[in-house]
Amino acid sequence: MSDALRAALDAVEARSPRYADDLAAYVRIPSVSTDAAHAPDVEAAARWTAERLTRAGFPDVRVMPTGGHPVVVARWHHDPSAPTVVVYGHYDVQPPEPLELWDTPPFEPQVKDGKLYGRGASDDKAGVLTAIQAVEATAAAGGVPPVNVTFLIEGEEEVGSPNLLPFLEANRELLEADLAISADGGIFGVGVPSLTVGSRGLAGVEIRVRGANADLHSGMYGGAVANPLMALSRILASMQDEEGRVLVEGFYDGIPELTPAERAAIEAVPAEGDELAQLGLTEWWGDPAYSARERRLVRPTLEVNGMWGGYQGPGIKTVLPSEAHAKVTCRLVAGQEPDDVAAKLKAHVERVAPRGVSVSVTPLAGKARAYQMPLDLPVLELAADAMEGVFGKRPFPVWTGGTVPVAEQFQSVLGIWCLYFAFGEPDNGLHAPNEFFRLSTLKQGTEATVRLLYGLAGDPGALTPARG
């Protein structure tokens, strides 16, 4: 271990008794981004974030307006020959409701058994503080951080980051960097480090099927007029075969085949109990060419999320409905474009629509591309070294089957990989009552981030550009 790293870890050790007070002060600000009544609190959290970055030594700290809540940008650039990292996180939080399920008030943080309880404690105020504390410790040891550092802390993550992509696009030069580090995310378990290497994208459409211009009497028109609900059923059923393969033309185009290394890494992720039994199921379902885990994490999906139409009240109503509706969304993987998939869904619906009805297909909001890091990316090795140095265990790659647009936005807008380096644990109660963060993890995360920053400084060649 270098003297500089040793000194920075000593600085963490010396400062760590104060970390809980900082987290408590941060959590005390009810920065609920979705609730207009909390707008002043969201502003206050932005200012608190900016002040904390200034206190850590950042010479350039800005609270920058957006179409919604502000973005805090802090820069500490001191060596043009050193790499630059941009740390992403968010200072906004989920609403605390239902309040009656909290053991202590959500915005009056309390420490019990080494855990600090409060809304946002884990998601993402501990994440933001972990990264700030790490930079602060390296600067305490070496005068300046080992790499150039930019922070980008937004206030709208919990409402889907509607202004983040335009902000990235408008501030490319300000945010120019060799690597993004997401301080929002988590590890596999308490003391069990992992590195998130992929998330899926999203595309969807709403389908509307119309028959006659009004509901009809089935005794007068049944059998002679097309039924929109039956037509919709045929359309939806035609999208997938009995084993779950998607039959929409071109749906799988451009998707690279999983490599043997990827398939092995996916199967190596530890199982989380008997999930089938927990779900009340006896078997998984879907394309037999892939394991259930592959289908849940790295293969694209097509699901009907809702369908409605016709009479749903008590008893009988012999009606021939005039309209039927459905919402269909797809989780996407690398190689698929959301707009392209939505267009293929539309073309499919129009091609298979039965005679006697008309169809309209509208894309749904919320589209996003997938994100996938190559497993042999050098920066993943550096990140694994940093985590192993603290946890004594090598992290393994994990995937999220869900959609997290920010990493892919760093890739496509700034041309850099986004390394998830964050320490939330599955039991932290994210978005739920009694959210907490372990003070021991707050310190471990800080130590791991210190190690990562020195690792990046020592091996700048590991910071490879991201292919778009």
Q: C-beta of 4: minimal distance to Zn ion in Å?
A: 31
Shortest Å distance, C-beta 437 to Zn ion: 12
| CA 32/CA 92 separation, integer angstroms | 6
Burial class (CB in 10 A: 0-12, 13-18, 19+), 316: exposed
**Cβ at position 159, least distance to Zn ion in Å:** 11
CB of 423 to Zn ion, least distance (A): 12
In the complex, least distance from residue 406 CB atom to Zn ion, rounded to whole angstroms: 10
Total of chain residues touching Zn ion, rule CB under 5 A: 3
Nearer CB in complex with Zn ion: 152/205: 152
Residue 186 or 321 with smaller CB distance to Zn ion: 186
The residue (of 123 and 323) whose beta carbon lies closer to Zn ion is: 123
Token pair 């998707």: residue: 255
Minimum CB separation of residue 410 from Zn ion in Å reads: 15
Residue 294 or 425: the one with the smaller Cβ distance to Zn ion is 425
CB of 424 to Zn ion, least distance (A): 8
- Whose Cβ is closer to Zn ion: residue 74's or residue 128's? 128
**Shortest Cβ distance from residue 32 to Zn ion (Å)?**
13
Nearer CB in complex with Zn ion: 158/323: 158
Distance between CA 379 and CA 250 in Å, rounded? 34
Q: How far is the CB of 49 from Zn ion (least distance, A)?
A: 14
Compare residues 153 and 216 and give the one whose CB is closer to Zn ion.
153
Which residues 170-199 are close enough to bind Zn ion by CB under 5 A?
184
CA gap 211, 325 in Å, rounded: 12
Q: Say which amino acid occupies 142.
A: G
Which of the residues 362 through 421 are near Zn ion (CB under 5 A)? none
Name which of residues 235 to 274 contact Zn ion (CB under 5 A).
none
Structure tokens at 381: 């090795």
Pick between residue 129 and residue 246 the one whose CB is nearest to Zn ion: 129
**Smaller CB distance to Zn ion: residue 123 or 447?**
123
Q: What are the two backbone dihedrals, phi and then psi, of residue 439, each rounded to the nearest 5 degrees?
A: -65, -30
Nearest residue (CB) to Zn ion, 124 versus 323 = 124
CB of 117 to Zn ion, least distance (A): 17
Nearest CB to Zn ion, comparing residues 122 and 240: 122
Note whether 156 binds Zn ion by CB under 5 A.
Answer: no
- Residues near 317 by beta carbon (within 8 Å), at least 6 away in sequence: 311
Contacts with Zn ion, 109-128, as mask; x by CB under 5 A:
--------------xx----
From CA 425, how far away is CA 361, in angstroms rounded? 40
The CB-of-128 to Zn ion minimum distance in angstroms stands at: 10
Residue 184 near residue 157 (C-beta atoms within 8 A): yes
Query: At 251, which amino acid appears?
Result: F
Strand partners, 116: 111, 437
Which tokens hold the place of 158? Answer: 């919990």
d(CA 407, CA 198): 9
List contacts with Zn ion (CB under 5 A).
123-124, 184
